[in-house]
Structure 1
Amino acid sequence: MTATLIYCYDPMCSWCWGFRPTWTKLQKSLQDLVDADQLTIQPMLGGLAIDSDVAMPDEMKSKLESTWKNIQASLGTKFNFDFWKTAAPRRSTYPACRACYVARDTGLEEEMYHAIQEAYYLKARNPSDLDTLIECAEQIGMNADGFQKTMQHVKNERLLEEEIEQARHLGLNSFPSLALLIGDKLTPIPLDYKDHSSMLNAIKKALS
């Protein structure tokens, strides 16, 4: 029986950005198990914040900026703090999540995820805005018109919301989170943001 490692994330979650280098190392360390068909890695979108056109209140902006500073201090993660001066942030991550959902169909989910993170955290672009997401789609080789049409379809059919409900049903309520599914047994994998080895050991132990 092939086990499934579920990685629940939101492309606009700053802790997911902080976790990215360690997650990359963990995926590389698991490649032998993936190649041997013992393990499948399945991304799942968490959906931090619903669609909204409302400007983010100053109090929330300050709170999120301070979260970025905390992550930068504890993990060494780079952030472009110009975002809080030049962008018009909204508390809305569903559009960015939909972009990753759309990219999944063409095998480009991880590329889209990384493009959104880099636009947001390094280039001070706003992934709540469709034009930013279209730029990301074109950057990874997707057709802009096709991307926009599929984004609308995913929204109309509430496909993202279905996935978010599935994540909640599995108890994956924080981002990032990892859990190993073997048959109908779900084992949460405790995160270590600085070292992938403890997570690798926990996965191997659960598999044995």
Structure 2
Amino acid sequence: MELVNNTLYYIHDPMCSWCWAFQPTWHKILKELPSHINVNYLLGGLAPDNDLQMPLETQKYVQENWIKIQKVVPGTEFNYDFWTLNEPRRSTYPSCRAVISAKKQHPDFEVLMTEGIQKAYYLNALNPSNEDTLINIARDIGLNVESFKEDLKSSEVNNLLLDQIHTTKTMSISGFPSLVLVKKNNLEKVKIDYLNSNYIINQIIT
């Protein structure tokens, strides 16, 4: 994937809990960005396809991470019922492919699907590793469900995901979310403050 100048790349995963915590500040940044800066979303692919139930040790780690996030970013909501209502799997690639499949129908659906997945997972205790959850979100946001289901399983969409993952790896980022600004053919990593959009904007405009 060729990187474009004057573009802010937002590297994320729809099932990344820190990305969920970053959403309010990210929305502020989008409103404050200079008009000459474009925004491009890249999926980092947090966890490959896996049909096995998440080990209890991993479940405990993720829940502890949610608790940590709520201390670092007050106001972030998590529905802990998820852990008793589901059989969690360490697999985020299906939700990543859902975002790409949604974007294929219209660019606006990229963000709508991402936020739909986050709300289903973190607020409604639904499992976005499950295809039926993703299909219901697609229906809720107004996608053509039959086309979505076909794209979700297509090699084309999977290859697009792998291409995005490869691109993010070339950026040498340390985790999600990450922001990378490309200008004058240079990549500049933007430091993230989860509570201060001005700190981030100031790095972009200088």
Unaligned runs of 5+ in 1: none
Name the SS of the counterpart of 2:59 in structure 1.
helix
Does structure 1 residue 74 correspond to structure 2 residue 57?
no
Does structure 1 residue 96 correspond to structure 2 residue 89?
no
- Alpha-carbon distance in 1 for matches of 2:160, 2:23: 25
Name the SS of the counterpart of 1:41 in structure 2.
strand
Q: Which residue of structure 2 lines up, in the alignment, with residue 116 of structure 1?
A: 117
Is the alpha carbon distance of 1:154 and 1:40 closer, same or farther for their aligned partners in structure 2, counting shifts above 3 Å? farther
Instruction: Give the alignment's TM-score, normalised by structure 2.
Output: 0.93
Moved over 3 A (4+): 154-157
Q: Is the 8 A contact 1:101 1:160 kept in 2?
A: yes
Name the SS of the counterpart of 2:153 in structure 1.
helix
Does structure 1 residue 48 correspond to structure 2 residue 49?
no
Name the SS of the counterpart of 2:52 in structure 1.
coil
Q: Which residue of structure 2 lines up, in the alignment, with residue 84 of structure 1?
A: 83
* Between 126-135 and 1-10, the greater mean CA deviation after superposition: 1-10
Q: Which residue of structure 2 lines up, in the alignment, with residue 126 of structure 1?
A: 127
Q: 1:9 aligns with which of 4, 7, 12?
A: 12
Is the alpha carbon distance of 1:195 and 1:154 closer, same or farther for their aligned partners in structure 2, counting shifts above 3 Å? farther
Q: Is the 8 A contact 1:137 1:144 kept in 2?
A: yes
Is the alpha carbon distance of 1:2 and 1:80 closer, same or farther for their aligned partners in structure 2, counting shifts above 3 Å? same
Q: Is the 8 A contact 1:46 1:173 kept in 2?
A: no
CA positional deviation for 1:141: 0.4
Does structure 1 residue 183 correspond to structure 2 residue 181?
no
Name the SS of the counterpart of 1:191 in structure 2.
coil
CA positional deviation for 1:173: 4.2
CA positional deviation for 1:172: 3.0
What code does the residue aligned with 2:176 have? F
What code does the residue aligned with 1:51 have? D
Overall identity of the aligned pairs, in %: 41
Instruction: Give the alignment's TM-score, normalised by structure 1.
Output: 0.92
CA positional deviation for 1:102: 1.3
Name the SS of the counterpart of 1:66 in structure 2.
helix
Does structure 1 residue 19 correspond to structure 2 residue 22?
yes
